[in-house]
Amino acid sequence: MTQHGDYRIEPRVPGIDDYLRLRDVSGLSPFSREAAEKGLPNSIFGVCLMNGDAVVGMGRIIGDGGCFFQVTDIAIMPEHQGKGLGKMIMAALTGYIESQLPKTAYISLVADVPANRLYQQFGFTETAPRSVGMARKVR
């Protein structure tokens, strides 16, 4: 467990309610409860940023377990942002990546600007123009 002032990292995937709440208040796209109930148990690794007993931030790693992984769901409640807590979450996720994932694993993420500067501090580089991120929703 990592601690920074009144905040600490717990290595666990957030619960459904915390996950949906954090995505909403931090401005990430919404998911249905049904989708979260199905997806969260399939996480490779997750962290909760705690302030006392409250979950105020999160991050997850998803993937196939061997070849491909994606850092996702980096979210912090607005009133707790700007305190270096994103670095705390990324440090915990990076620690897991470096100690637990295969050396040949491909780890990706989709970075919103200006968060790309945070991810660069942890070894992530932009892939364009060689490749570009693409996305599709079901409907």
Say what the alpha-carbon torsion angle 19, 23, 26, 27 is, to the nearest 10 degrees: 180
Burial of 44 (0-12, 13-18, 19+ CB in 10 A): middle
Look up tokens 């991050």; give the residue. Answer: 59
Q: Give the Cα separation of 103 and 67 in Å (integer).
A: 10
Give per-residue pLDDT as tens, 69-92: 999 999 999 999 999 999 999 999
- Where exactly are the structural domains of the chain? 2-120
Q: pTM of this prediction? A: 0.92
Residue partners of 114: CB distance under 8 A and separation at least 6: none
Q: CATH topology for 2-120?
A: Aminopeptidase (3.40.630)
Give per-residue pLDDT as tens, 35-62: 999 999 999 999 999 999 999 999 999 9
Give per-residue pLDDT as tens, 120-138: 899 999 888 899 888 888 8
Residue 105: how many other CB atoms lie within 10 Å: 15
